[in-house]
Structure formats: C-alpha cells, structure tokens
Structure 1
C-alpha cells in the first residue's frame, strides 16, 4: 500500500451496552459526568466528555437491529449494516473506534485511503438534536471492512466543555489500546498514522481492548469496558 500522511486523530471510542440508561447510571455512579446525546427518553447514545481529546460514546442498538441492515448499507455503503450488527455481537464492551478528520480535509483523506487500498463507504451528513434542544452537525464515513476504525468530522459547533474534571478525577483519555489482527495491520497503519494516543498491538481480532484514563483514581471494568488508571501529572487538568 502507498503511504499516506496521517491526517486523523482519535475522536471517540464506542462502547456498546445492552441497556443505555443502566450504563449511564453505572458510569455516573463510578464518578463520570455523562450526557445523553439526544432527549433521554429515546436516546441511543450518551457521551463522556473531556475538555480536549477523544471521548467515550456509550451506544445501544434496537432489539430488531437486523431489520435496519440493508437501509444502513444504502445510506452509508456496503459493510455499514454488518458494522452495526457487529456492535452488539460481543455483548457489552468496546465495539468501534472513530478517527477525527477535519471537514475541509475529508475528501482528500478519503481519496488517499482508497488509493492506498482501504475501501471507504459513502459520506453521510448527520444532524443531531441534543438533550438541551441545541443542534450539532458532522459527517462520517465508515470503512467497508467493519472491524477497521472509521472517520468522523468534528461536531459543529464543538461539544467539548471548556474545563472538566470528572468527580472521580478523570481528565482525559491518555491511551487507547487497539488490538490489530495481522491481516489488518497495513490498513490500520494508514488510518491511524502516528497518533500518540493510540497504541496498537498484535491481537486475534482488531478492536479496542482497553483505555487508560488520566487522573482516574482506580481502574474500572464497567459494562465490559476496561478503564485503567494513569497517575495525575502536572498539566493533566488542562490537557
């Protein structure tokens, strides 16, 4: 594959949960501030925000998600439906990884990835009505191979709070550990580039294995998500 200059950093780690409201309660009980992505009653996504850098997105899928497989393929391209179904296949736990690409760089990034042998799906424009009634817009593009990370543009307007230290001390995601199957290594290298937050290691399947959280007082395993603690160092509160 032809080398591609890294243009994307980590946007968010996706964590699939069977019961979103129960998961939100669990993470809040563990000292995280959690915000529903839409009105709470019908929400299927919630976010654990940090003032900078990647975040954790909790998500669930409808009980009869298989009915949406073909419509999602039509919307986002081949492989998108299998990706959605795959989120729930392993049960609660990390299920996907989104890489951030600036909106103005997205088209060039997609062309370079396709030229390098990483097949990409259709670009989807998305608008979300937040829990407080405000709106946010972004674009995303799935890789056609469902196990590979996908691309997303920054939320407009930005949703990052100016300053946030969670009650449990967490300030940012320091490291995202990504297992990579040997067959996927070349594609992952092109997608990830040299993002210092992402650490890859050989694995039997490609996917996020654990996340190290700066400032977190104690390691946690919540809904299948392994969160290891990272000692607070000078500057973490502003990182």
Structure 2
C-alpha cells in the first residue's frame, strides 16, 4: 500500500526572481503565493498536483554567520527543523530536497506513525501557515526527518 507520494521537489536559488524568469522563459507557469517583492518561494504546478518549489533559504540580506548563530540558539526548540534550515543555508543552488505528502490526507498521522514504527526518525510535528496574496490563509504541518 502506498502511503506517501512526492508532494513537491525543492530547487534552491539565491536569486529567486532570476530563477522565476528562467523557468518562465522555458515555458513553465510560475506563481508566487505571496507578494513577489517579499516572496522567498515560487511554485510550478505539475499536472498530477505535485509541484516544483523554487526557494531562497535566505530571503533577507543578513550574513550567513549571523543566521547560523540565531538558528543554533533555536535548535533546542526544534532541532530537526533547525538542522534542515542550516542544511539549506550551506547547500549549493539546485535540486536539493523533496517533501512527501500523505496519500489520503485524512490519514496523515496514521501514515506518519506507521513509518515511525518502521524505524524512521522524525522531529516534532510543526504547524505552519501563510497568508496568500488573495488574503486566504493556507495551513499545513510538517515533520522533518
């Protein structure tokens, strides 16, 4: 039984606007979920509902060393999420991660518990949200290995 499918693949860039222009020039439809001037990601939806996410892990202009220090201070609260962010901060541009979505979203926690029982180590479940450009609030949660 398939419990998960690729929800989206993450393509990291430090120049989001340029990446969006490049993908549009290739014929892709690229959308921002928020104001393009403030966005740190943009999405390319595929026919099956999954998407590519172009993202800048460092949307504010601060030295990497300062961001690293701040996130290391936050590590005790969410170690898996902080480790993931530090991985992004220190990774080269390009395809570098993916997210799995639960097949049958209503069964997500059952599926998460199943893979934990099989030996997967996951950090705390973190509830997240974002207000879209339309004013609609989008919510989701994540559990980071």
TM range (shorter): 0.7 to 0.9
Mark the runs of 5 or more structure 1 residues left unpaired by the alignment: 144-239
User: Which of 20, 26, 45 is the aligned partner of 1:24?
Assistant: 20
Give 1:69 shift.
Answer: 4.3
2:29 aligned with 1:33? yes
RMSD: 1.9
The answer to whether the 8 A contact 2:8-2:98 is kept is yes
Q: 1:73 to 1:17 in 2, by over 3 A?
A: farther
- 1:122 aligned residue: 124
- 1:14 aligned residue: 10
Give 1:85 shift.
Answer: 1.7
2:102 aligned with 1:108? no
Any idea what the Cα deviations from partners look like across 1:131-166, whole Å, max 9, x if unmatched?
2332222121111xxxxxxxxxxxxxxxxxxxxxxx
Partner Cα separation in structure 2 for residue 112 and residue 14 of structure 1: 25
Give 1:92 shift.
Answer: 1.0
Q: 1:130 to 1:43 in 2, by over 3 A?
A: same
What is the total number of aligned residue pairs between the two structures? 137
Question: SS state of the match for residue 100, structure 2?
Answer: strand
The answer to whether the 8 A contact 1:120-1:141 is kept is yes
The answer to whether the 8 A contact 1:16-1:88 is kept is no
Structure 1 stretches of 4+ moved >3 Å: none
- 2:93 aligned residue: 92
Give 1:34 shift.
Answer: 0.7
Normalised to the residue count of structure 2, the TM-score between the two structures is 0.83
Normalised to the residue count of structure 1, the TM-score between the two structures is 0.52
The answer to whether the 8 A contact 1:73-1:79 is kept is no
Q: 1:48 to 1:36 in 2, by over 3 A?
A: same
Q: Which structure has more helix as a fraction of its residues?
A: 2
Question: SS state of the match for residue 79, structure 1?
Answer: helix
Partner Cα separation in structure 1 for residue 57 and residue 46 of structure 2: 24
Partner Cα separation in structure 2 for residue 72 and residue 129 of structure 1: 26
Q: 1:134 to 1:11 in 2, by over 3 A?
A: same
Partner Cα separation in structure 1 for residue 23 and residue 51 of structure 2: 14
Mark the runs of 5 or more structure 2 residues left unpaired by the alignment: none
2:89 aligned with 1:68? no
